[in-house]
Chains A and B, each alone.
Chain A
Amino acid sequence: MTELSQATAQNTRKDAYQSASSRLTRSSLLIWNATLAVMFAVAAAIPWASNGLSFWFYLLQWVTLATAVNLVAGLVGYLPFGFVAFFGIGSYAAAVLTQFHGVLAGWSICGAAMAGTVLALLFAPTMRLSGVFFSIVSLSLSIVLKSLVSILPEHVAGGSSGVTITAIKDPSLAYYLMVALCLVSLSIATLIAVTPYGLRLKAIRDDAGAAAMIGIDVTRLRLSVWLLSATIASTCGGIEALYSSVIDPSASFNMLISAKAIIYAALGGLGTVMGPLLGALLMSVVDELIWARFPVANLFILGALISLTVLAMPKGLIGSLLDRHPRFRRWLF
């Protein structure tokens, strides 16, 4: 009996893999990987080619955060308004370890990653909630966390003045770490998309009950994605702390970080791999353009742009393009 069900499970897995991979031909994957490789070769060369690292650093940061939030929002269907909690805890872990305990940059980033994982485990029970309940509880927890961090004594976490990292003068290490993290998060997203893992996640998002019925371990799968996404975000926060070298509670736990990550991912297309990348790239450039050109009206234009894009393309750039032209399905995912 068990053997039989195992065999069936194996079959489903195989079918799932085949259906996923038949959608994406080998060549399309090759192209995607090649594009990624070229992009990251360019990103790695930036410090030689350009003097202004910050634009590129934050571009990569937004791609990473949008990709990470997409794992939870696009693949599991949770909208974490308090996603910044992970980013913030990572920032603080890295800054406190580096500045107050003299830990080397590399290890403090590991600390940041671990802090995110632990926090995600602590917050895991909130996944019982759904819809706006989850979102608001997540937001509340991030606000509580921010307050707790600023209440901590100054020698522990800097109080509300935050922490200034003086140990690291050269930001290029943090830049390369961000390049690496961005590449890793995009690769993880790609891997999830082409393996049955992703298909099962989508099944959960569409109907958790039905997914459980066909033998998917809903809780475990959700939890693993949740941990993965949180860990990426906290690592990202840690690297940002090393890069900017000045952190404080209101900046590290700024709600705008959650909002921007979600918006970038959603405008590009939630649940796709390319969407968050495209969304973050386009919006960063658009932001830069209107910020420089329209000093008075920039907020208004940004708002109008977001609203109009949602109305015109409710599934984001990639999602809506695929709806209209399903033949691109092979190339865009």
Chain B
Amino acid sequence: MATLVPNIILNAAILGVIYGFLGLSLTIVYGGMRIANLAHGDIVVAGSFITYALTAKFGYSPIAALPVAFTYLSVLGYGLYRIAGKRLQNSREPELASFLFFYGVSLMISASLLFVFDADARAISFQFRPLSFQFLGLRVPHARLVAAGVALALVPVIFWALYQTIYGKALRGAIMNRDALRIVGIDIDRLSLFAFSISFGLAGMTGVLIALVFPAFSPFSGMDYTILGFVVIVLGGLGSPLGALAGGMVFALTEQLTTLYLGQSTGLIAGFLVLVAVIVVRPAGLMGQVEWRA
């Protein structure tokens, strides 16, 4: 089994990037606005279904689905924020209110996907040529390489947007101290609307990448991705974009190595136990600076 280890570490690294990317879009909304987007996974699955529709019905490459998923889903995010964002943020317990609101949204999205695509499992049949690359005795599937590549190419853009632009700085400011931002005269509502739409768009793009890596999905797989997203950002530290990536890596590596040595059913348990252990030792997560109070 030892011969499998290098390959597994490479595989875990690729999955870690995808998991991290899944958490990244979630942490922008949760960290900045304390909106617990329980529909995050359903947005991701919607992105996968958009990929399916484009590749299966129109014969496009999955890469072409990236801008489409981003556009459609950020419009959905824009709409949802317009309807609910302000009310949720102004309520006494934004976490609870948004948890309930987005649970409803999650039901609506999966019901709509079910209506349009039926309960069948859907699979992306598009294949890259060649199917995989081999180097130094390692084998990497082309699709996974593309997915990880796209994510890695987008991460610097997101980081640049978060750390260099005025919007990004304001948003990160909001993660640390909302009220202070208001005092210095930043239009928090516009900022939130913007961040919220971007987050939904990014979640949709995550769905495209996930469709490349895990090509089968059904309208009900949303909740799995929501949980994974939250686990990753809590593990990494809320509101820390770098932490989300680190959290994704740690989770993927734990899961994969446990699967190798103990079997697949313990892989998931180990992932969650590592989360619990990290949180107990470092309540703010791997890279979190702020410990959130209820």
Direct A–B touching in the complex (beta carbon < 8 Å)?
yes
A residues sitting closer than 8 Å to B (CB atoms) are 73, 77-79, 125-126, 128-134, 136-137, 139-141, 143-144, 147-148, 150-151, 255, 259, 262-263, 266-267, 270, 296-297, 299-300, 302-308, 310-311, 314-315
Most buried by A among B100, B108, B111, B238: B100
Contact of A315 among B92, B104, B106 (CB under 8 A): B92
Q: Select B293's contact among A130, A143, A297, A303, beta carbons within 8 Å.
A: A130
- Distance in angstroms between the alpha carbons of A177 and B109 in the assembled complex: 38
Name B residues whose Cβ lies closer than 8 Å to a Cβ of A: 30, 36, 83-84, 87-88, 91-92, 95-97, 99-108, 110-112, 114-115, 223, 227, 230-231, 234, 238, 265-266, 268-269, 272-273, 275-276, 279-280, 283, 285, 291-294
B104, A306: Cβ atoms under 8 Å?
yes
- Whether B111 lies near A133 (C-beta < 8 A) is no
Tell me whether A132 and B283 are in contact (CB under 8 A): no
CA distance A5 to B112 in the complex (A): 62
Residues of chain B within 8 A of A299, CB atoms compared: 107-108, 110-111, 114
Which of A263, A296, A299, A314 is packed against the most chain B CB atoms within 10 Å? A314
B108 touches A307 (CB 8 A): yes
Q: Is the CB of A132 within 8 A of B95?
A: yes
A267 vs B114: C-alpha distance when bound (angstroms): 26
Q: Which residues of A contact B223 (CB under 8 A)?
A: 255
Between A and B, 28 residue pairs with Cβ closer than 8 Å are A78-B294, A130-B293, A130-B294, A131-B294, A132-B36, A133-B279, A133-B283, A136-B234, A136-B275, A137-B234, A140-B276, A144-B273, A147-B265, A151-B266, A266-B96, A267-B100, A299-B108, A299-B114, A303-B103, A305-B104, A307-B84, A307-B100, A311-B84, A311-B87, A311-B88, A311-B101, A314-B97, A315-B91
A residues in contact with B36, CB < 8 Å = 132
Q: Which residue of A lies closest to B107 (CB)?
A: A303
Q: How far is the CA of A133 from the CA of B275 in the complex (A)?
A: 10
A182 to B223, CA, bound (A): 30
Is the contact region of chain A dominated by helix, strand, or loop, or is it mixed?
A: helix
Contact yes or no, B91 A314, CB < 8 A: yes
Chain A residues contacting B111 (CB-CB under 8 Å) are 297, 299-300, 303
User: Which residues of B are found within 8 Å of A259, using beta-carbon distances?
Assistant: 103
For the complex of A and B, list the 8 residue pairs with the smallest distance between their C-beta atoms, beginning with the closest. Answer: A303-B107, A307-B104, A306-B104, A300-B111, A299-B111, A303-B108, A140-B272, A314-B91
Q: What is the minimal beta-carbon distance from B64 to any residue of chain A, in angstroms?
A: 29
Please pick, from A78, A133, A141, A306, the residue contacting B107 in the complex, using a CB distance under 8 A: A306
Cα–Cα, bound, A244→B114 (Å): 29
A304/B108 in contact, CB under 8 A: yes
* Cβ contacts under 8 Å, B97 to chain A: 310, 314
Closest residue of chain B to A259 (Cβ to Cβ) is: B103
A151 and B266 CA atoms in complex are apart in Å by 9
**In the complex, what residue of chain B is closest to A143 when comparing beta carbons?**
B272
Instruction: Please determine whether A131 and B95 come into contact, CB atoms closer than 8 angstroms.
Output: yes
**Cβ–Cβ contact B231 & A300, under 8 A:** no
Q: Return A133 CB to nearest CB of chain B, in Å.
A: 6
**Cα–Cα, bound, A141→B227 (Å):** 12
Q: How far is A30 from B103 in the complex, measured between Cα atoms in Å? A: 37
Residues in B with CB closer than 8 Å to A126 are 276, 280
The reply to whether B103 and A306 form a contact with Cβ atoms under 8 Å apart is: yes
Determine whether the beta carbon of A132 is less than 8 Å from that of B234. yes
Residues of chain A within 8 A of B95, CB atoms compared: 79, 131-132
